[in-house]
Structure formats: C-alpha cells, structure tokens
Structure 1
Amino acid sequence: MELRQLRYFIAVAEELHFGRAARRVHIAQPPFSQQIKGLEEEVGARLLERNSRKVRLTNEGRYFYKQALDIVAQAEEAAATVGRMAKGEYGNIKVGFMEIAMDSLLPEAVRSFSHRYPGVSVRLSQFGASIQLERIHSGELDVGFSTVYLRAMEGLSSVKLFSRKHVLAVPEDHIFTAEKSVSLKEIARENLLMFPRSGQPDLYDSIMQAFTSRGLVPKVRQEISGLSGASALISSGMGVTFLPENSRVARKGIAMVPISDDFPRMDIFMVWNSEDYSNTAGVFMEWVADYFSVSKAFAGKVSG
C-alpha cells in the first residue's frame, strides 16, 4: 500500500465521482480506477459501491477514509518536520552560559531567535567556563557563552561576540558617587569583591595586573559567586566590585562609577564543537553571529 493510493482513495471518497477524483489528482481515469481496485484487493474489502449513476462509500470505506486521512496527514507532517530539521529549523539545542555573559544583549538574541524559529527548543543551563568547555567537548552542550577565551581544546572553536567596558559598582551613598570617574589608586583602598579566579582566570588575572602594574595591591576581601549576591553585598555596604557597563543587575542602593585608568574589558565569546554540531545548532550560531555583526566561522562537520 502506498501513500499515493491513499490520496487517490481520499479524492474519490470526497468527490464520489471517479472522473472528478481522477482530475483532482491529475491522472487519467482508467489507471485511477485500477489503483482503487488494487487498494480494495489489498485490504480485502469493498470500499466503494458504484454503478452507472453514483458512487458511495461502504461501511468499510467510511472507516478506511477516516484512517487514510490521518495516515496521510501524519506522513505529510513527518516529511515537513524532517525537512525543517535538515534546514536547522526544528529540533533542540542545549546552550550553556555564564551568568555574567547573560547580563547583556544575549537574552535578546536568544529571544529573537526563538521568535524566528518557534520549532527550535533552546534549553539554557548556567555553568562556569571550564564545565561549559568540557560539556561542549563531550556533546552534552551544543553551544556555550563565556568570558573565557578558548586557547586550545581539540575540536572546539570560539568567536568573540562583543566587548564591554567595566565600571565600579558602589553603594549609592558612597563618596565615589560624587566623582565623574575613579582611579585604580582610589579603588585599591576599598574593600573589593571579586568573582572567583577559577570561573574566569584570564579576566581575573588581567584585573590584578592592572593594579600591580601601577604598584598597587587591591584589598580583595570576599569572593562573590553570582550577580545577585554581588548586588546584595554592595547595596549593604560590604564592598565594591567591577561590573560590565550598563549591567542589568543595578538595583536600588547601587551606583555605577566610570573608571578613569585603562582597565580590562569584558569579552563575551561563543564556543562550539567545530567537528560535530547539528544543523539546528549551526542555524542558532549563525543567528547569534549575525545579531552581533561578527564574522561567521562555523566550519566543520555538521551532524544530522
């Protein structure tokens, strides 16, 4: 039994006329009639009663008509879905991110992608940089967003999406809020809250180097594990920290002060397995790259 035969039967069941049904499916009537006869022989039942004046469905024919509609619809839906999958317009992608990386325009990029490709489910999971790289390498994640530049890991590639200036986040009643900008010499006298070095070693070391190159030793009093924790500590007067310019975690009780000295920027990278990624992941990465107007570098093997 072929889908073509089911479509022929649906046509005659709806037209109740062999000539009109044959024209509807663009086939001559004699071979059309032979296809219907062959279908009846295959199912072992008469599906249609016909005479010189009219055609009508038998009880078996009415049942078979309903089933044929479902089968053809399911087949067409499956074919359409597979086609969308091949184009990367349907499926699932697993995306890892660092909290600080999503404190930016990235959420808008992901949201706009989901609006454009509603058939793709984007599953977001928060991980540190090292765990992201491990899971991308193992295939547990398709794409990652991190502040860590990828130096060398077999099969992985990265591209910088954007860069942001740092500002100093201070309590809103801090003396620095009266200044247009603040120097590292002034910051070195403050209790500094820092994200753990293990999470973003390159950035951490660059920040420390900015101080030591000026003969300064910052007073790192406490490590902070997340943006919400940082906001709470700063607003309560426990210290100051560096955050990306226009950070979304700014809350009541916190002010942002520009830094006058040269200071490391926060770079956000997209990381992926260049040796094996799905069509859907490729479409997602291209969308994100276009969103941030960066060159595409998605060479490698694309899995189905």
Structure 2
Amino acid sequence: MDGLHSFIAVARDKSISKAAQALHVTQPTLSARLRKLEENLGVKLLDRGWDGIRLTKEGRFFLSYSVDLFQQIEEAAAILGQDGGGGILERPLEAIANEKRLRIGIESFYYPAFLPPVIEGIRTVVPDAECRFVNKTSDLLTGMVDCESLDFCVNFNYVGDLHPCSRLVHYDKGVLLYPKEGYPDIRTDLSNAPLLADRPFVLFDNSPLRQYSEVTERVFHYLLGRVPERFHIVNDFTVMADMLRRGFGYTFMPRSSLLHMMDAPLPFHAIEMEAEFLISPVFITYAQNPSSHHPIERIAKAVTERLKAAIDAAFQGKQAYGYRRKGD
C-alpha cells in the first residue's frame, strides 16, 4: 500500500519533493518505495528529469487502476472504522457482508443480458432471498467464488482447468457489431470486413478482450488482416451500444451479450462470426460451502436451465431485427 500511495502522490504532484512533503516522509524513503514498486511490477512507471516527473506509458496505464484500487481500499477501511449502531443504511458493513444474503457474480460482458434469466432462476428456488449482485471479469469472479465471497457466478473459461463445481451453460459465438449509418455494408462472409480497419475499435477496459489478448489479436487478423490503430476505451455495455448507435466505432462481442436486445430491431448491425477459435464456453461456477444458508447447487442448476432456454430462444429467425449469419 505504501508503494501504491506514493506512486499516486507523485503522479498527482509531479514532484518527488512535493509528494514526500504531502506524505510526511523523506525523499529517499519515497524514492525507495517507488523503486520497489517498479521492481515488483517489472516495468518503469516514472521518468525523472530536470523538468520534474513524468509518467511512462506503463505508468499512465497503471495509474487508473491504482487510483481505483486505492479508493476502494480507503472506502472499505472507512466502512470498517465507522460501522456501528443505527439502522441498516447506517451500517454498510452489515448491509454488504450479511452472510444470509445470496451473492451472485456475472461477467461484465453479460451483465445486462443475463441478469433477467439469472433472477428468474433464483426465484424458482429461493423466491424470498435477498441478493447481492456483482459484475466483474471472470477471473475475479471465480476467485471470489473460491474465497466464498460469492455463492456462484456466470463466467467465461477460455483457458485453464475446469472448476470442480461448475455447470456448462453453452458455447458462445462471436459477433461483429458496427453502425448502421456512415459505415460500409459488411458482407455476412466478412470478406470485406477489412474496410473497418481504419475506423476506431471500441475496446472494453477490464474485459476478456484485454485479458486474453492472444485471442483478441487472432480476431483482429481474422477480421481485418491486422491490429487496428485507433481505439475508444469503455467499461460499460450500455455506453458501447450507444456509441455504435451514434456511428462512433465498431467492436466484436460474445453473441449472448445481445440477449436482452433481441426482442426489437438492433440499433446497429450484427454479423455472426463462425471461426472456431471464437467459440467460448460459458459456465455457472459455484461455491461448495456446506455452511451456506441457501441450496447453492439447486440454484445453480435452475439458473443454468433459465439461461439455456433464454439463449436458445433469442437467436431464432432474427434476421429482420438486424442480426445476420453467413448466407443471410
């Protein structure tokens, strides 16, 4: 934490001396913390010159994560220190950490799409359960399940061993998404997809596209013949959808992330991608916790069934809605 706090202070003040003064430490102590942080990360975060401190490319990347992480830790510490008497709204620790609450995680890509069938599955088994929903990346969610801070999650599993407590929902496909106006009409066989290469690609921050960069790079070469040079960075599906609707970029997504939008014409073009390496298994992963207040395995089974049914029904005969496959 000292290294992280020191890095944020130096990035803010752009000066070792000013940051040391603000943190009430000596300059040598601060410099030692920064060197240790850089050594642990294996990258250089700061350039030191006569004109002050500048962040390297790696430093700029790390800063956004550092600030977010530090703020979350500070908030958690404040909650732990302040939690006391009063009602539930005045006792956030009780509200968040209540062990009787059902805790569910959903991969960020799928959160808007999968939330309704997940809720339906929960209701069939424990209709009166109070719930806490979390949307994060799959690796974080499965880690939270392993630590029993989540009861179950919906997650990708591109690589690695299958979790011992998991149920396969389905094998998802990739789909190319691009605006309806101001963009070339891409054929369903994707033979002219390289026409998109000079347009900005909408990349999700903290997503499988970033985590599994080797898969993402293969998709770029499959579609465009090269990695694009222009990117918009977003962290929310709704923002992405609005950007595409406004002609501000293109992207590719797991097909089922559109599940909640398939009851009406899509606000952008969607073309299914057939490459086998794009097929990704989606699982329900759950905790094997005998002390749980809920029948987790039964809930996981019910949620799996609801998700399968919703996905199977969603993509039948949807060409009129703007969803196309090869040959349409």
Find out whether 1:264 has 2:273 as its counterpart.
no
Alignment match of 1:108 (pick from 107, 113, 117): 117
Structure-to-structure mapping, 1:61-140, within 5 angstroms = 92-105=101-114, 107-140=116-149
Task: State the TM-score, normalized to the length of structure 1.
Answer: 0.54
2:263 corresponds to 1:254 = no
TM-score normalised by structure 2 residue count: 0.51
CA distance in 1, matches of 2:270, 2:122: 34
Distance 1:149 1:171 in 2: 28
Task: Output the CA distance in 1 between the equivalents of 2:219 and 2:186.
Answer: 24
Is 1:176 equivalent to 2:209 in the alignment?
no
Corresponding residue to 2:152 among 139, 143, 148: 143
Q: Which residue of 155, 159, 173 maps to 2:167?
A: 159
Please show how residues 226-241 of structure 1 align to structure 2 within 5 Å: 226-241=236-251
The answer to whether the Cα contact below 8 Å between 1:161 and 1:292 also exists between their aligned partners in 2 is yes
Question: What are the Cα deviations for residues 240-294 of structure 1, in whole angstroms up to 9, with x where unaligned?
Answer: 0113436135899931231566261344222223465735212211212344569
Q: Distance in 2 between matches of 1:277 and 1:255?
A: 47
Letter in 1 for 2:172: R
Which deviates further from its counterpart, 227-236 or 265-274? 265-274
How far does residue 163 in structure 1 lie from its aligned partner after superposition? Answer: 2.8
Is the contact between residue 136 and residue 143 of structure 1 (CA under 8 Å) also seen in structure 2?
yes
SS in 2 for 1:186: helix
Which residue, 207, 225, 228 being the options, matches 2:216? 207
Tell me what 1:288 maps to: 303
One-letter code of the match for 1:175? Y
Higher helix share: 2
SS of residue in 1 equivalent to 2:181: coil
Structure 2 unaligned runs (5+)?
Answer: 1-99, 310-328
Say if 2:165 and 2:286, in contact at 8 Å, map to a contact too.
yes
Partner AA of 2:123 in structure 1? S
Q: Do the aligned partners of residues 280 and 149 (structure 1) sit closer, same or farther apart at CA in structure 2, a change above 3 Å counting?
A: farther
Question: Mapping of 1:6-45 within 5 angstroms?
Answer: none
Q: Which consecutive unaligned segments of at least 5 residues does structure 1 have?
A: 1-90, 295-304
Amino acid paired to 2:299: F
For 1:48, the equivalent position in structure 2 comes to: none
Q: 1:178 to 1:205 in 2, by over 3 A?
A: closer
- RMSD between superposed Cα atoms in Å: 3.6
Which of 226, 229, 241 in structure 2 is aligned with 1:219?
Answer: 229
The structure whose Rg is larger is 1
Q: 1:150 to 1:136 in 2, by over 3 A?
A: farther
Distance in 1, matches of 2:194 and 2:244, equals 20
Q: Judging changes above 3 Å, is the alpha-carbon distance between structure 1 residues 255 and 266 closer, same or farther for their aligned structure 2 residues?
A: farther
* Cα distance per residue 1:130-158 (max 9 Å; x no partner): 332332222111111122446259x8643
Task: Tell me the alpha carbon deviations over residues 2-38 of structure 1, each in whole angstroms, 9 at most, x when there is no partner.
Answer: xxxxxxxxxxxxxxxxxxxxxxxxxxxxxxxxxxxxx
Would you say 1:186 and 2:195 are equivalent positions? Answer: yes
Secondary structure in 1 matching 2:299: helix
The alpha-carbon distance between structure 1 residues 111 and 131, as it changes in their structure 2 partners (threshold 3 A), is: same
Q: State the distance in 2 between where 1:218 and 1:99 align.
A: 23
- Alignment match, 1:85: none
**Change in 2 beyond 3 A, CA 1:99/1:239:** same
Give the letter for the 2:107 counterpart.
M
For the 8 Å contact 2:108–2:207, the answer to whether it is kept is: no
Decide whether aligned partners of structure 1 residues 122 and 227 sit closer, same or farther in structure 2, where only a CA change above 3 A counts.
same
Could you say which residue in structure 1 is the equivalent of 2:96? Answer: none
Q: What amino acid maps onto 2:174 in structure 1?
A: H
- Which 10-residue stretch deviates more, 222-231 or 117-126? 117-126
Q: CA deviation at 1:172?
A: 1.9
Range with bigger deviation, 144-153 or 221-230 = 144-153
Q: How high is the sequence identity, in percent, across the aligned residues?
A: 15
Give 3-state SS (helix, strand or coil) of 2:247's partner: coil
